[in-house]
A and B are shown apart, each in its own frame.
Chain A
Amino acid sequence: MRESQNPYILEMRNIFKSFGGVNALRDVSFQCRPGTVHALVGENGAGKSTLIKILAGALLPDSGEIIFKGQKHQSFSTRKALNSGISVIYQELALVSQMTVAENIFLGREPRKYFGIVDKKRLKIEAKKLLKQLGFEVDMDMEVGEMTVAYQQMVEIAKALSKNADLIIMDEPSAILAGHELDQLFLIIESLKKRGVTIIYISHRLEEVFRIANEVTILKDGQLVGTKPIKDLSRGELVKMMVGRTLEEVFPVSFNQLGNPVLQVEEISTKTILNQVSFNLREGEILGVAGMVGSGRTELARAIFGADPLTSGTIKIKGQDVVFKNPADAIRSKISLVPEDRKNHGLFTKLSILNNITLPILSKISRWGFTDKKKENEIVERERQIHSIDMTSGNQEVQYLSGGNQQKVVLSKSLQTIPEVIIMDEPTRGVDVGAKFEIYQLIRQLNKDGIAILMISSELPEILGLSDRILVMREGKIVAELTPNETNEEMIIEFATTNTQQSVP
């Protein structure tokens, strides 16, 4: 009797989907067992997000069928998917920034009293309970737009949990989480699994996949490569299935030619959170900044870049005191920022790739106010090769690129102005393994030309593998300065979470 029953909670059969000329998915089929974590991996643009958007009813497949809990569906609508017990954490966060935390969590499913009146009290209590479960205490009345992306991510997770779904899909939920938050996420996944909830987990961080997944499905160029139990695979094998070749995951070595300090930050404080932060950044150096969510890393980047005003302290560029009233001042002093939030701060998603990349240097490549189309095309082609951006042409709108490819465009854009200092906030957020190491090479290469880099990252392997020096932040202060070969992940997490303080020069 049991034998004949369907062992899968979800089957997707022969899914096809194309956007104009792009075949995003070709004949993809896969199955999920109930109460397991099923990882979905593949390079940027492989079709992972497209597949789960179809499952969530956000996109219609060209053909194929979905069988969920024994019921066959030609396609879903978002409502239908929600009602039948599927909930999704989208890669590009799906929150309304003008609304509060609590309102966002229950958007579309507000607890009601009668006649469609919202039960505000219950709304807040329930939201608070959910976030507490996530080990997270925030003001329920805070507007989501005022929070950092990592906090927003936690709200997004709470939102997905609140739906009591049987299947939760997480599209790169961890891309900007680290340490404590990540552990919390994994604890939650474990407990969901115990309750019989099925999870589809998309991530480019393979160590996570090995840590939590039971099975893994690999996509490449819109096609299925295969589904395997995770214990049958080694990391190398998995990478090979994703990329199609073996990949040497080695960090480029430092050139070790540190010059004079270019950026000197002296005891700066802001209204946001920064409290007496000081450090030097030297020519040709990569200075890594580690820390938990809310430790003030993004705020540090914003303060240096002139986006938040200083309340005290000074910033020197090449020994000269500078005051940046706004980012334009900072750019003029040859500082460039790769922002954390690409959708709101980094890109014009409705403009083409070409327009995005060449925007910072338009005046340089145009004559009498006319842009030089040929030159622009050359630049885009060059950038496509350097960053291996998966795109149809330079005229494609950025909003239609996959998440990782959008990130590559952000990077490329901020490097156009040939800066002297680059501040990178989560530079490889959502970038696939192959491209990640290409970006590392590129970052190192920039060093060779004397460019100094301040790299904020939640990925400790990246911090350890690439930095010349590491700063650890906690509660708006720098609590440790470390050298990569004298430290390890545990030590960094220790500093980022506990109260011990090491002397800072």
Chain B
Amino acid sequence: MKRSFFQKHAIILIVYALILVLVVIGAFNSEHFLTLRNLTNVMRQAAYLGTAALGEMMVILIAGIDLSVGSLVKLCVLVSAILMDGDPDNVWMAVSLTLGLGLSVGLIHAFLINELNMSPFVVTFASLFILKGISLSITTKPIGRASRDFLMLYSEKIAGIYVIIFFFIILILMMMFLLNKTIFGKHIYAIGGNLSVAQLSGISVKRVRYGVYSLCSVLAAATGLLWLMRMGVGDPVIGNGLELNVIIAVVIGGTSLFGGRGTVIGVLGGVLLLTFTDNLLVILGVSQFYSGLIKGLIFVAAVSLYKMENR
């Protein structure tokens, strides 16, 4: 009756097996691929997608969706660049106000979903356009400037690893802890698994929603800050279509769109798979135009594999 270890973790094994396949293909086709330099680069890129994806994952786990992630990242890049304006004294102010902006957006999402009974799809779809609209009304050209030391963080290292990767690892550990060890985490799975049961068990569904949507938006804001760190300016093209990449990564990682099922390790796999794909395309010199096509195919392949194993 009980499922074996292999069956239980089949999804994750599949994702990581696919990653391995990519690595092998990469290694055979380019001598640059398996270099430490390239691999750390991939990890650093993975942190960008991954930070946003871990937030989205929480939302999807409670059977919600957040479509506004890309637009919020865009707005946060602009806002943080404008606030920082190249001045080292502004860094803390800019960082905290940007994260505060993310928090408020998340709280508004949860408020509309909780108190006005609107569907997450509608709320965050509207938010996608509103936030994008605000961003483009601020500017259509690069704007603002990161301070020098903030920019330096991009290439700085702690104990031999890039700051960004370090941050990402901490974030992963925190998320794993949150989901597996805390009551908040258990309640997230319960709400996604069966909303009415969660309610009948006396779980405060609203409070969990406030927490989850804020967390998702704060992580999007953090992603915006990471982008500023990389670009040095507030570029309004950042974040275009990001929400879709994020959702694809979460779903490839074995998170059920109906909620209640999904793991951090799985999502990490999804993120790495997408990042490796992009990296490989660049290294093999394939046009970026094929990137969407290939990701779409991986998406379908992964999801159909899960369906087969769940049969």
Contact = CB atoms under 8 A, between A and B. Distances in A.
A253 interface: no
A118 B186 contact: yes
Contacts of A109: 201-202
Interface stretch (A93-101, A125-133, A404-412): A93-101
A140 B270 CA distance: 30
B263 to A, nearest CB: 12
Interface in A63-118: 78-79, 82, 88, 90, 94-99, 103, 107-110, 112, 115-118
Given A112-B183, A116-B182, A142-B2, A98 B202 contact: no
A58 B189 CA distance: 21
Given A139-B2, A146-B1, A107 B181 contact: no
A97 B261 CA distance: 11
Contact of B198 (A97, A107, A272): A107
A98 B199 CA distance: 16
Contacts of A117: 181-183
Contacts of B185: 118
Nearest to A326: B311
B197 interface: yes
Contacts of A272: 1
A459 B184 CA distance: 42
A95 B190 CA distance: 9
A96 B199 CA distance: 11
Nearest to A94: B197
A96 B182 contact: no
B201 A94 contact: yes
Given A95-B197, A98-B189, A108 B203 contact: yes
A98 B261 CA distance: 7
A95 B194 contact: yes
A95 B189 CA distance: 12
Contacts of A139: 1-2
A466 B201 CA distance: 40
Contact of A94 (B182, B184, B196, B261): B196
Interface in B182-236: 182-187, 189-190, 193-194, 196-204
Interface residues of A, number: 31
Given A96-B260, A146-B3, A272-B1, A78 B200 contact: yes
A96 B194 contact: yes
Given A108-B187, A109-B201, A118-B186, 19 more contacts: A58-B199, A58-B200, A78-B199, A78-B201, A90-B200, A95-B197, A96-B190, A98-B261, A99-B190, A99-B193, A107-B198, A107-B203, A108-B190, A110-B183, A115-B182, A117-B181, A139-B1, A142-B1, A146-B3
Contacts of A110: 183, 186
Contacts of B203: 107-108
Q: Could you say which of A58, A115, A116, A141 has the most chain B C-beta atoms within 10 Å of its C-beta? A: A116
Interface string A142-154: 1000110000000
6 contacts: A58-B199, A96-B190, A108-B203, A118-B182, A141-B2, A147-B1
Nearest to A123: B186
B193 A98 contact: yes
Nearest to A95: B197
A107 B2 contact: no
A98 B260 contact: yes
Nearest to A151: B1
Given A116-B183, A118-B182, A99 B1 contact: no
A466 B199 CA distance: 41
B181 A96 contact: no
A90 B200 CA distance: 9
For the complex of A and B, the 8 pairs showing the least CB-CB separation, nearest first, are A108-B201, A96-B193, A98-B193, A108-B202, A107-B201, A98-B260, A79-B202, A94-B197
Nearest to B262: A98
A98 B186 CA distance: 11
Contact of A103 (B186, B199, B204): B186
A82 B232 CA distance: 54
Q: Could you say which of A88, A98, A103, A120 has the most chain B C-beta atoms within 10 Å of its C-beta? A: A98
Nearest to A146: B1
A110 B182 CA distance: 9
Interface in B143-202: 181-187, 189-190, 193-194, 196-202
B189 A99 contact: yes
A107 B183 contact: no
Contacts of A88: 200
Given A118-B181, A139-B2, A94 B200 contact: yes
B191 to A, nearest CB: 9
Contacts of B190: 96, 99, 103, 107-108
Contacts of A99: 186, 189-190, 193
A97 B193 contact: yes
Interface string A5-47: 0000000000000000000000000000000000000000000
A117 to B, nearest CB: 5
Q: Could you say which of B184, B187, B189, B200 has the most chain A C-beta atoms within 10 Å of its C-beta? A: B200
A112 B181 CA distance: 10
A96 B197 contact: yes
Contacts of A142: 1-2
A378 B261 CA distance: 42
A142 B2 CA distance: 6
B194 A78 contact: no
Interface in B245-265: 260-261
Nearest to B1: A146
Nearest to A120: B181
Contacts of A94: 194, 196-197, 200-201
